Amino acid sequence: MVTELTADNFDETINDNLCIVDFWASWCGPCKMLAPVYEELSKDKDLSKLKFCKLNTEEYPDGASQNSVMSIPTLIVFNMGEEVDRITGFYPKEMLKQKVLDVLKKV
């Protein structure tokens, strides 16, 4: 399951969880390609300790600018509010899963 983040729940969500946030926009082709892959990974038991979230940069541009997101899609892993790492661009499912698992080793 993927949680939609807004200005109202962004800070609370990233401060209270180990989470990954997909910064995306409706006009972004690679973001559209990433969406089903991201949804599938959110259900992967190997990644179950990670809360999967999405932030629409058109609806909440401050969320992107406050986190220095310069291009999308960008995935940022947060641990209790602190950025652990980021992944920018589209990757196929297995490659993205491995990148996320590698990031989780830092936590």
Q: Which residues of 63-78 are buried (b: 16+ CB within 10 A; e: fewer)?
A: bbeebebeebbbbbbb
C-alpha 77/C-alpha 14 separation (Å) is: 9
Residue of 5, 14, 19, 28 marked active site = 28
Residue of 21, 31, 41, 87 marked active site = 31
Peptide bond into 73 cis (omega under 30): yes
With contact defined as beta carbons under 8 Å apart, do 55 and 63 qualify?
Answer: yes
- Please say if 31 is a catalytic residue: yes
- Which residues are part of the catalytic machinery? 28, 31
